Structure 1
């Protein structure tokens, strides 16, 4: 499970974004009903589902049922909780540490999707089984800025344009941005996509060994590894893209908060600061 120094700030910010709810359902015809399951309990259950990749039924117990977890998850998605939580975290990181937006990296990663769904396709690296591809974009340190989901049979190159469009929602960005890409983007089409957006590309060339032309794109590869540590994303059984995106937003929030605490540990002091560097 995630340590308290990481889960507590996540919950504190989430609780501030959630509306006040009555303990009992006021629409019940008899004026009485079972108490509403606490949001903190459901939040911890969702973190466990994300981290361990288990089913809702496996993580349910006497404190919270699987149906409650799903219903509260959908309710929070409609409120935009996970999207807002991620944006607040990015803003805090940018204010305290600073996002490295003049050097960004884009790369794709294929994971398993045994349940199929809207973001699944035949995987070219897993004997045609159902798989999911995510085209992720990170800053120069590896902080996840967003992703585009598609089937595993989709090539990285067509996903470059919608992935770069994520930069539009970040607000003011540097005038000169270098995009680090691997050899899968070594084509005239990818360079045209970069040129249309006024971006400079540093693309690995096909046929040249990777260690010789290794650039700063390893940051996005490391971020993929961080995301795959959440087993719900590495082996995804969710069928709706909206649900998958919500779990990705939650995972990206955790990664950003963890990086923020680690990097601010040596430069800032606060009451709940861990005694040792995380």
Structure 2
């Protein structure tokens, strides 16, 4: 059984393949010209998707067609080239052209997940008895489409990564913000530092107050909580065993791109018709 349905897998692969052209089967610079054949990128990509969805180690998702070392080497090359961020940007552009991003209202929030192997994005988790953890700060539009996503150690407060999150959103959107933007944040961001940041970038602030029960002032930021749930559906995000920051960021953006494409397909069902339109509304 495939890790993702073809309606989600194929769009991501087509964009990644366009950004990373297929290399020759044999390296012409090899002095003897008798080394092993190069594993096709498509085969490696399917193994990477399996690792992302199931959260398994590379030794477990490896097969006779692709060894775990090949997965690691190809993943490092893709991450160093920033392919995850580029694919996410292309997914956002397609969603904006077909559905339209709701940028008048944006939300951001942090989520802590497990990182038992340590690494560049791991530290003692304040909500898991001091075990290794990673925090991701996600910025979404009014519907919950992930626009910007930033990784940080688990023991970091939500407010400091907020600047990096909105800067990431601006890069992904190519600075195409509307004239008036309202940022909806929970009470963890209720500080002078956050308000000064929002004034600096020209966003209106709707921040929950400390000491007031959350259900009374939930506002429009519930969509980012739903997006965090979507992201936690990927095993590699829920329990990250990689240590390299570039690879972690690659997985974060790849998961965000898949979430964006999934919502694009679901919302386009009532607006567009195409031959390969999925017959089920439940896309996993």
Normalising by structure 1, what TM-score?
Answer: 0.96
- RMSD value, Cα: 1.2
Is 1:11–2:13 an aligned residue pair?
yes
1:209 aligns with 2:213: yes
Looking at structure 2, the residues matched to 167 and 85 of structure 1 have their Cα atoms a distance apart, in angstroms, of 14
- Please give the secondary structure, in 1, of the residue aligned with 2:110: strand
Deviation per CA, 1:96-120: give whole Å up to 9, x if none.
0001111000111111110111111
- The CA deviation at 1:28 is 2.4
Q: 1:80 Cα deviation (Å)?
A: 2.7
- Which residue does the alignment assign to 2:76? 74
Change (3 A) 1:167 1:253: closer
1:198 aligns with 2:202: yes
Unaligned residue ranges in structure 2 (runs of 5+): none
For 1:8 and 1:162, the matched residues in 2 are separated by 31
Q: Any idea what SS the aligned residue of 2:12 has? A: helix
Aligned counterpart, 2:237: 233
**Does 2:194 correspond to 1:181?**
no
Are the counterparts in 2 of residues 25 and 32 from structure 1 also a CA contact under 8 Å?
no
Structure-to-structure mapping, 1:24-43, within 5 angstroms: 24-43=26-45
Change (3 A) 1:168 1:8: closer
Structure 1 residue 188: Cα displacement: 1.7
Per the alignment, residue 63 of structure 2 pairs with 61
Residue number in structure 1 paired with 2:111: 109
Q: Is the 8 A contact 2:99 2:264 kept in 1?
A: yes
CA shift digits 1:204-243 (9 cap, x unpaired): 1111111111111111111111111101011111111111
Secondary structure at 1:105's aligned position in 2?
strand
Q: Distance in 1 between matches of 2:108 and 2:100?
A: 19
Offset of residue 27 of structure 1: 2.4
* 1:248 CA drift (Å): 0.6
Aligned to 1:49: 51
State the alpha-carbon separation in 2 of the partners of residues 150 and 186 from structure 1: 20
Is 2:113–2:238's contact at 8 Å kept on the other side of the alignment? yes
